[in-house]
Amino acid sequence: MRYLTQCAVRELLRRKTGTLITVFGYAVAVVVFVVFSNILVHSNKTTGEILKHTGTHFMAIIPGCGRKNCGVTLRNFNEGLEINGIQTLLISEKMVAHMKKLPEIKDAAIFLAFRMYDSLSQSFFTIGGFDPGNDYVVSTTCCAAGDVIAGRFLTSIDTNAVLLHENYARMKRYGVHDSVKISGIPCIVVGIINPGIRPAQADVYVNLPYARKLIKKRLHGSSLAAKGNALLVETASSLLHEKAFTYLKKEGFTLSTYKCYKPAAKVIGLNEKSAWLLIILIIAGVILFAVKSQLSSVLERIRELAVLRAIGWSGRHIVQLIVTESVIQAICGCIVGAVLSACVLAGVSGTMIGGNALFPETMPVFTFILISVIIVICGGVIAGVIPAVYAIQRKPSVVFHTL
């Protein structure tokens, strides 16, 4: 074997350029595999961590059963407890307290929405009552101080204060400090707000106690104490989102969510598959190139190989020689690739979102290097065996006769 290795090295040194190109190809394969595998694994891990600690939010309602039997008695049958045009039943805060105890739920809050008629302008608008003191689930599902574009946000102790949705304010030409009458009660516009695409929307926002006070004036004797008609929910993590859905649906709720976590995770999954496919294609391409390169070398010296057989080398020795040449190139490529990979990984700095270091552990790096070495050396063997088998299938006499 030592002698064959010496012969193989001589041949590789004779065709330096071809050898260097093949070695470079193997090195690229190792670098691509190690670096991208590390990125994918750590990306996967970080994504999992992020999803684990990132909740998703939605709004849940119980659709109503008709104007007369939805738990309230209306003065004006054109008004009502409605969310997005759907009549809803009332939900008590006891339900909210119960929801908060569930492991799938991180936070929950009541929202009270009512479709109200404005006799002055002879038009309808929605009034939405929420708890401005809850800056968790309310901020993600309804509105937050950061959505204020003029004036200020509401506080829990505000009375006679309203926030107007930007669209409604423009339509009605209201501004901050303007006075609006709701249920006959004059209210001051303290702020204009644009909450974006959150599920709990209204034209006029007030704090919850004040909303109950304003809406009660539109009802006959119905009590709204400790009640609302929508549940704002923040799940404990994206991984528990579906579980929370299932529970609420069993309780008769319908849900309003934009499922943003799912497409993102799906995209990540799709991208990961594409990346692995690309890695496999690159490695396959490198091995194919090595096969081609070694085959070209064998064809170029087919006569020399026939001479070696003529002077007593067996077909097995010829195969060993050619495979040794190929494996030496693969090993050299692995060494260069491993060093380059380690340099690339050590040189990449910064952190991924979620605060996790990009490459905090060295063990997976060595594991990937080892895996890539095994793959590349197997590739080297394949790249040697195919041309070697071709070489020994041709009889020396035929080679001498042909050339």
Partner 1 sequence: MSELVINCANVKKSFTVKGKRRVILNGVSFAVGKGEVITVCGKSGVGKSTLLSLIAGLDTPDDGSVVLFNTDISTMPESSLARMRKKNIGILFQNHNLIRAWSAVENVEAALAHRGLSSVEMRRRSSAVLHTLGLENLEHHLPNEMSAGEQQRIAFARALVHNPRLILADEPVADIDPQTGAILLELLLKRAKEHETAVILATHGEPPAGFDDRVLCLENGTIRDIQR
The residue (of 21 and 342) whose beta carbon lies closer to partner 1 is: 21
* Residue 314 binds partner 1, judged by CB under 8 A: yes
10 binds partner 1 (CB under 8 A): yes
Q: Determine the interface stretch with partner 1 among 2-10, 19-27, 200-208, 368-376 (rule: CB under 8 A).
A: 2-10
Whether 79 and 106 have beta carbons less than 8 Å apart is answered as no
The span from the CA of 8 to the CA of 2, in Å, is 10
Task: Map the footprint of partner 1 across residues 287-306, applying CB under 8 A.
Answer: 301, 303-304
312 binds partner 1 (CB under 8 A): yes
If one asks whether residue 18 binds partner 1 (CB under 8 A), the answer comes out as no
* 53 binds partner 1 per the rule CB under 8 A: no
Q: Which of 315, 336, 371, 390 binds partner 1 (CB under 8 A)?
A: 315
Residue from 3, 68, 221, 350 binding partner 1 (CB under 8 A): 3
Count of residues that interact with partner 1, criterion CB under 8 A: 28
**Does residue number 316 form part of the binding site for partner 1 (CB under 8 A)?**
yes
Which tokens is 14 given?
């004779």
**One residue of 101, 173, 220, 401 binding partner 1 per CB under 8 A:** 401
Member of 102, 188, 307, 352 binding partner 1 (CB under 8 A):
307
Place of tokens 């926002």: 205
Binding partner 1 (rule: CB under 8 A), the pick from 45, 67, 317, 394 is 317
- Shortest Å distance, C-beta 395 to partner 1: 6
- Nearest to partner 1 of 142, 302 (CB atom): 302
Scanning 34-42, 223-231, 314-322, 346-354 for contacts with partner 1 by CB under 8 A, the matching segment is: 314-322
Nearer of residues 10 and 75 to partner 1, judged by Cβ: 10
Minimum distance from CB of 384 to partner 1 (Å)? 17
* 2 lies in the site for partner 1, by CB under 8 A: yes
When asked if residue 20 is in the footprint of partner 1 (CB under 8 A), the reply is: no
Kindly report the backbone phi and psi dihedral angles of residue 106, in degrees, each rounded to the nearest multiple of 5, phi listed first: -90, -40
Least Cβ distance, residue 393 to partner 1 (angstroms): 11
Q: How far is the CB of 294 from partner 1 (least distance, A)?
A: 15
| Window of 104-112, 181-189, 309-317, 351-359 that interacts with partner 1 by CB under 8 A | 309-317
SS (H, E, C) the chain: CHHHHHHHHHHHHHCHHHHHHHHHHHHHHHHHHHHHHHHHHHHHHHHHHHHHHCCCEEEEECECCCCCCCCCCECCCCCECEECCEEECCEEHHHHHHHHHCCCEEEEEEEEEEEEEECCCCEEEEEEEECCCCCCHHHHHCCCHHHEEEECCCCCCCCCEEEEEHHHHHHHCCCCCCEEEECCEEEEEEEEECCCCCCCCCCEEEEHHHHHHHHHCCECCCCCCCEECEEEEEECCHHHHHHHHHHHHHCCCEEECCCCHHHHHHHHHHHHHHHHHHHHHHHHHHHHHHHHHHHHHHHHCHHHHHHHHHCCCCHHHHHHHHHHHHHHHHHHHHHHHHHHHHHHHHHCCCECCCCCECCCCCHHHHHHHHHHHHHHHHHHHHHHHHHHHHHHHCCHHHHHHHC
List the end-to-end C-alpha distance of the chain, in Å, as a whole number. 30
Residues 199-218 that bind partner 1 (CB under 8 A): none
36 near partner 1, judged by CB under 8 A: no
Q: Does 395 bind partner 1 (CB under 8 A)?
A: yes
User: Where on the chain is the footprint of partner 1 (CB under 8 A)?
Assistant: 2-3, 6-7, 10-11, 13-14, 301, 303-304, 307-317, 395-398, 400-401
